[in-house]
């Protein structure tokens, strides 16, 4: 059976279980089980290739010990083992402070994980299906990686869980424009399911990684934090699928919980790639960590943090909503600070439908570099392909849709940029004159002519009068019919 059919069979089995309710729970259930199988397959390979290697998971709780035998424990015995022994042991796994301790990865994944399945028989069927995938087989792992991407994509329709997913075309475009190299410290402070990390890994492996040393250098420079349990678990599993042996750099934490001033120089990074949650508000007290930009709006706090965290000449690409562009008060101070500390050189304006169905608000891709103030900003309006009204689940945004912007970009040095029907330039003086309102519409777009307002009002009054006359006629006809 193909990997795709195996995953489909697992999902069909889970739908029969009374305890698994909806896509988000099914994905969470799938994830912790696949995580244990993937890490066990990795362990078995590392035990052969590395002297004195020891699994981070105690022998009794390793996948091979309780799950690998298709005739192994099932029913109530299996449920009792998972709920009463496996989960408590992995949640309380002792960890050290040594870097590279894979036990921390396991404990962080299971810290808030939950077994939703209530049928031990169905659980055994799922376990046996998972055993059909060999994650040490490169072809099977690649196939599963593609399917895993689709599982993450399914989060868009899984209620609130959709907030953790950024369309892969968007992440791929942003990574391509930032162009990370092995050894550059890359940080995603709100990493969700790890889309920017996986895109960056693929980009570097395709363009720069030729040796094991370069790969180690790449892996050692990755940093990420995710606040919520489900996306953190999905991200860690995603890293394992991409051959990252030690995904402990993906921390389960709230990046905003630290005072802004406490981030020291030695914690600064070369690159930030992120889509911070927006529209949400942080818990009480978090705003006190940002005294200059006191707000509970999550996206604003992350933007302030990113400016702080970038090294001299560090570069960033960030997804932000329209509200950040036109907002006043704290948002104005934040934008002024951003443009004093960084060169905000490009804003790519996306149509509202890019993040559908999770969100239908206008979003923007901000590209900036730390070290010199902004003198001018280039805007590029991304448009839905001709013949298509909007992006959707069946017609999502694809990387090739960004080709026009890539061709216009002007390479790493951004040379030769010119104004086009989709691109325009604004000076810092114009921005200051607008009170740092960056919600600047395309000046090359001809506004629709809706006609003279007085004529439109006259037409409306005429139409209303005709409607009233027809209503009166209908009432008369009905009254006459009732009298017969």
Please write the tens of the pLDDT for every residue from 24-37: 788 889 889 989 99
Give the count of alpha carbons within 13 A of 347, CB side only: 26
Q: Is the pLDDT of residue 164 over 60?
A: no
Helices in 389-451 by DSSP H: which ranges?
403-409, 428-433
**Which band of pLDDT confidence, cut at 50, 70 and 90, is reported for residue 348?**
very high
**Which band of pLDDT confidence, cut at 50, 70 and 90, is reported for residue 160?**
very low
Average pLDDT, the chain: 88
Q: Is the pLDDT of residue 290 over 90?
A: no
11-15, 75-79, 83-87, 345-349 — which is least confidently predicted?
Answer: 11-15
Q: What is the C-alpha separation between 480 and 484, in angstroms, rounded?
A: 7
What local confidence, expressed as pLDDT, does residue 446 receive?
A: 62
**Which band of pLDDT confidence, cut at 50, 70 and 90, is reported for residue 280?**
low
Determine how many CB atoms are found less than 10 A away from the CB of residue 435: 11
Positions of E strands within 192-252: 222-226, 250-252
pLDDT digits (tens, 9 = 90+) for 106-119: 998 898 889 999 99
Q: Which residue has the tokens 């009233």?
A: 468
Better-scored residue on pLDDT, 456 or 307: 307
Q: Is the pLDDT of residue 279 over 90?
A: no
Closest CA to 177 of 333, 405, 350, 388: 405
What local confidence, expressed as pLDDT, does residue 162 receive?
A: 41
What local confidence, expressed as pLDDT, does residue 161 receive?
A: 41
Mean pLDDT, range 271-282, rounded to an integer: 83
Percent of the chain with pLDDT over 70: 93
pLDDT digits (tens, 9 = 90+) for 374-390: 999 999 999 999 888 88
Q: What is the C-alpha separation between 52 and 49, in angstroms, rounded?
A: 10
Mean pLDDT, range 250-279, rounded to an integer: 91
Assess contact for 155 and 14: CB atoms under 8 A. no
Q: Is the pLDDT of residue 153 over 70?
A: no
What local confidence, expressed as pLDDT, does residue 193 receive?
A: 86
Mean pLDDT, range 291-304, rounded to an integer: 85
Assess contact for 273 and 288: CB atoms under 8 A. no
165-169, 178-182, 269-273, 298-302 — which is least confidently predicted?
Answer: 165-169
Closest CA to 202 of 126, 268, 142: 142
Q: What is the C-alpha separation between 399 and 380, in angstroms, rounded?
A: 16
Q: Is the pLDDT of residue 68 over 60?
A: yes
């Amino acid at each position: 059976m193909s990997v795709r059919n195996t995953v489909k069979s697992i999902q069909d089995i889970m739908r029969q279980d009374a305890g698994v309710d909806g896509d988000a729970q099914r994905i969470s259930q799938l994830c912790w089980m696949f995580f244990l199988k993937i890490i066990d397959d990795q362990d078995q390979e590392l035990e052969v290739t590395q002297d004195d290697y020891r699994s981070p998971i105690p022998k009794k709780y390793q996948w091979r010990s309780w799950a690998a035998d298709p005739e192994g424990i099932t029913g109530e015995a299996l449920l009792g083992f998972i709920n009463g022994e496996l989960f408590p042991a992995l949640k309380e796994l002792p960890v050290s402070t040594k870097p590279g301790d894979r036990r921390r990865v396991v404990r962080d994944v299971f810290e808030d994980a939950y077994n939703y399945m209530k049928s031990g028989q169905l659980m055994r069927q799922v376990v046996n299906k998972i055993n059909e995938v060999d994650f040490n087989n490169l072809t099977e792992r690649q196939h599963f990686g593609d399917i895993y991407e689709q599982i993450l994509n399914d989060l868009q329709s899984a209620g609130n869980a959709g907030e953790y997913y950024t369309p892969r075309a968007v992440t791929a475009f942003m990574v391509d424009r930032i162009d990370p190299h092995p050894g550059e410290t890359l940080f995603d402070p709100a990493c969700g399911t790890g889309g920017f990390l996986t895109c960056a890994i693929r980009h570097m492996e395709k363009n720069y990684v030729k040796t094991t040393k370069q790969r180690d250098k790449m892996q050692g420079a990755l940093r990420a934090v995710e606040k919520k349990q489900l996306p953190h678990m999905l991200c860690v599993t995603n890293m394992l699928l991409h051959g990252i042996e030690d995904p402990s750099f993906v921390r389960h934490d709230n990046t905003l919980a630290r005072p802004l001033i406490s981030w020291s120089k030695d914690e600064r990074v070369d690159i930030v790639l992120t889509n911070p949650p927006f529209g949400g508000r942080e818990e009480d007290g978090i705003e006190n960590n940002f005294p200059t930009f006191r707000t509970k709006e999550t996206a604003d706090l992350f933007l302030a943090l990113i400016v702080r965290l970038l090294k001299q000449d560090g570069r960033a690409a960030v997804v932000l909503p329209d509200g950040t562009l036109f907002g006043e008060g704290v948002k104005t101070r934040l934008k002024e600070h951003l443009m004093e500390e960084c060169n905000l050189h490009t804003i790519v304006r996306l149509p509202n439908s890019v993040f559908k169905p999770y969100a239908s608000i206008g979003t923007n891709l901000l590209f900036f570099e730390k070290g010199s103030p902004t003198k001018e900003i280039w805007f590029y309006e991304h448009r839905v392909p001709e013949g298509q009204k909007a992006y959707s689940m069946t017609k999502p945004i694809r990387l090739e849709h960004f080709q026009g912007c890539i061709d216009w970009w002007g390479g790493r040095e951004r040379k030769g940029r010119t104004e086009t029907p989709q691109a325009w330039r604004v000076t810092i003086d114009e921005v200051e004159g607008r009170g740092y309102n960056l919600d600047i519409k395309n000046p090359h777009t001809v506004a629709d002519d809706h006609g003279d307002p007085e004529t439109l009002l006259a037409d409306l009054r005429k139409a209303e009068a005709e409607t009233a006359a027809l209503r009166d006629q209908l009432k008369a006809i009905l009254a006459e019919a009732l009298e017969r």
